Amino acid sequence: MPDDARMPSHTDYQPLGVKTLWLFIFERSTVAVLALVLSIAMFVLFNVNIPMSYQALGQLTVNFHEIVRIAALGFLFLFCVALAGAILAGWLVYINYKFFLGEDALKIKRGILSKEEIAIPYRQIQDVNIRRDVSFMMFGLSKIIIQSAGRGDRGGDDSSESEGTLPAIDKDLAEKLQEELLKRANVEKVIPANQ
C-alpha cells in the first residue's frame, strides 16, 4: 500500500505547546527542588570544620561528618530520581493532552493510563474563559475553561465543573482560540468596562 493511500491518522490534533511541557515539569518538581535544597545544605554542613566524633554505645565511634556526607549524597540521589520522575510525568501528560477544532465540535484527548476523548459541540458552548495565575504568567501561558450548556448552573469554581479545559497553552494562542470558539458558538465576547 503506498504511503499516500494510508488511512488518515489523528494528526489534526494539536499539542498544547512546548512552554506547556515546561510548566507540567515545573508543577511536578517540588520533591526534586526540596531534595536539592537539602542536599546543598548537607554539603555545606559537611564542609564546616567542626570536630564531631563521639563514642556511643561503648566501642562504637560515630563520625558526624560521615553521616552528613552520606545524607547529602542520599538527598542528591533523591533529587536526580525525583527530577527524572517529574520530567517523565510532565512529558507523559504533555504528549497525551491534545485538542482539535473539528467541523462541529472542539475535541480534547487526554489521559495517560485512562484515556478519554471528549467532544464539546460548538452549539453547546456558552462561554470561554481565560485564566492566568503567577506561574502561568511567568511562562506566558493561559488556561482555557469552556463552559457548556448544563455545566454552568452548579456554582463554585467553573474550572473544576467544566469538562472542556485546556490546562495550559500559549497566551496568544489562547486568545485566538477563545475568539474562534466564541465565533463558532455564535456567542459575543463580553469585555468588562474597566479594561
pLDDT for position 83:
96
d(CA 189, CA 12): 27
Q: Strand, helix or coil at 166?
A: strand
pLDDT for position 96:
92
pLDDT digits (tens, 9 = 90+) for 95-144: 999 999 888 889 999 988 898 988 999 888 888 999 998 888 888 999 99
Q: What is the pTM of this model?
A: 0.72
d(CA 56, CA 60): 6
- Percentages of the chain per state (helix, strand, coil), in multiples of 5: 45, 25, 30
Determine contact, residues 143/165, Cβ cutoff 8 Å: yes
Any residues with CB less than 8 A from the CB of 90 and at least 6 apart, and which? 21, 24, 25, 26, 27, 28
* Helices of type H across 140-195: 158-161, 171-184
Any residues with CB less than 8 A from the CB of 158 and at least 6 apart, and which? 129, 145, 147, 151, 152
pLDDT(82) > 90: yes
**What values do phi and psi take at 179, rounded to 5?**
-60, -45
Parse the chain into domains and list their residue ranges.
18-95, 120-184
Residue reference for cell 484527548:
109
